[in-house]
Amino acid sequence: MTKGTRLEIHLPHLRHNLMQIRSRLQPDTKVLAVVKSFAYGADAVAISQCLVNEGIDYLGVAYVPEGVALREAGIEIPILVLHPQTHELSRLVAHQLEPSVYGWHVLNALQKVLEKQGVDTYPIHLKFNTGLNRLGFSTNQAQAVREQIESSNMKVQGVLSHLAATEDPAEKNFTQHQLQEFEALLPIFGPDPIYHVLNTSGIFNYPNAQYDMVRSGIGLYGYGNEPEVSAQLKPVAVLKTNISQIHQVLPGNSVGYNRGYVASQTTHSATLPLGHADGIGRQYGKGKGAVWIHGRKAPILGNVCMDMIMVDVTGIDCAEGDEVVVFGHPNQSAESFTEKAGTISYEVLTAISQRVKRVVIDD
């Protein structure tokens, strides 16, 4: 049995989640799997290879180096770079990555790179801002963008936007307004590009806006932004560790730095070999986070240390070396682990540091 702090990556759960997403799509709707940030903290190469074997249409990354790493691992399918930086465009073209072009400076810089490299008809995706106000051309710039591209070395492979609140029923009118803004782009760019706007929550809540392709990130890894969505999915990443040592803490004695926990009664604490350097931040200390040991909940005692946390195992029959589940188990998802700390599953998943061993499980 594998010991030590490790992040198990369950590929059967990934396939299950992809199947759940596909079951909500029209037969000809493409799927772009977002594998940025080490595939949401898992293992980008292992996840991508599994998805390629399942016939995924596109992969999506945030930055050029992430796409280059996948190319160097032998991934050949289209890869969309969602936030390319102008200084990385030469590498992007060299590795046949497709950029999301979100502003004039990117468009002009890419044109210069293509001219310098003697490249013709390079595929790009155009990003339009329909209300998230993060990245994208304004929709009233669409005609001017099209005209510049017509005289360039670029081909509009895709047109996209990003929805801000597809998980929130109270923001349905706002989402519908975003979709109307996006719909207005179709007559400008015609039928040839791949149009894509839906994220995971959009797939479940706005099935009539699938267009040509949908993008799923968090859903593939087993989470949605609504409980009813998460209930249909299975967590791919399971963070586990083992007990290093158990202490008896007498009343009045304390645990950890700054005496973050002072025992009011005899308490048994277990020290675990992971801490904020591994992605379990200090916000989970003082009982806001908990782990599971032999099916029992063990709250974190005191402050999280850089490389260790201490948890309350009073009344739990456990011993040094026993297995501990931090999140990803049926008893505790990443969502429930983060809830009392006032954060979200995305943050803890992507925060798990690269020093934590990844163990790929496929059975």
DSSP letter string over 83-107?
S--GGGHHHHHHTTPEEEE-SHHHH
Angle between helices 44-53 and 11-22 (to 10 degrees): 50
Residue 112 appears among annotated catalytic residues:
no
Residue of 155, 172, 257, 357 with catalytic role: 257
Q: Which two tokens stand for residue 227?
A: 């409980």
Residue 257 appears among annotated catalytic residues:
yes
Which residues, other chains included, contact 131 with Cβ-Cβ below 8 Å and sequence gap of 6+?
163, 164, 174, 177, 178, 181
Helices (H) and strands (E) in the chain, counts: 13, 20
What length does the chain have? 363
Residue of 30, 36, 127, 288 with catalytic role: 36
Task: Give the closest residue to 326 by CA, choosing from 351, 350, 303, 293.
Answer: 293
Residue that is written with structure tokens 């099916």 in the block: 295
Angle between helices 44-53 and 64-72 (to 10 degrees): 60
Consecutive H or E run containing 189: helix 186-189
Do 75 and 46 form a contact (C-beta atoms < 8 A)?
Answer: no
Q: Does residue 14 sit in helix, strand or coil?
A: helix
State the catalytic residues. Answer: 36, 257
